[in-house]
Amino acid sequence: MREQVEDVLAENPVIAAVKDKKGLEEAIQTDCTIIFILNSDIINVGDIVDQVKAHNKLAFVHIDLLEGTSNKEVALQFLKESTNADGIISTKAQMVHAARSYGFYTVHRFFLVDSMSFRSMDKQIANSNPHFIEILPGMMPKAIGWVKDKIDTPIIASGLVCEKEDVVTALQAGAVAISSTNNEVWYM
């Protein structure tokens, strides 16, 4: 399953992350083949996912930011039964682990703020078993290299990726893709 998404990312390693309707409307018109939905609720998530899917793109919902649900497995069941989402993003190991049992592609998001957060990654990844990990901020090539050497899970760099140089540097450091809410990056 991971290989299918990796093939898509090999063709275009830029993921459009959207946080509002205007961003969604633009993102679905780009060459980005994966859309990260960062802001939705139980009322509109199905429609948002349908818009993404209507443009032959993969839809990943940030389950932690899905308003109207709790951070419990029932939110995953709701997403599976009520939408056509392809995957989820979460900072919570237990949600990522549970999402796999529902057949979702999974992205475990990490905020690398210090050496302690870096050192705890492998234990969390062992518990979550994600298809991908997402590292924020994503414009730290040295940290991407450290993670790549430590973890055998494909890396998505995200957060503060604003310029072409950031994209190129992250990919050269070992990320398989970058995710950005900056619409200028979507066209690189």
The per-residue pLDDT for range 63-87, each reduced to its tens digit, is: 999 998 877 889 999 999 999 999 9
47 pLDDT more than 80 = yes
93 pLDDT more than 90 = yes
Query: What band does 188 get if pLDDT is binned at 50, 70 and 90?
Result: confident
117 pLDDT more than 60 = yes
Q: What is the pLDDT of residue 133?
A: 97
Query: What band does 6 get if pLDDT is binned at 50, 70 and 90?
Result: confident
- What is the pLDDT averaged over residues 15-26? 97
Query: What band does 146 get if pLDDT is binned at 50, 70 and 90?
Result: very high
Q: Where are the alpha helices (DSSP H) in the chain?
A: 2-11, 21-27, 45-54, 73-82, 93-101, 115-119, 121-128, 141-150, 164-173
Q: What is the pLDDT of residue 71?
A: 73
Region of residue 68 (left: phi > 0; alpha: psi -120 to 50; beta: else)? left
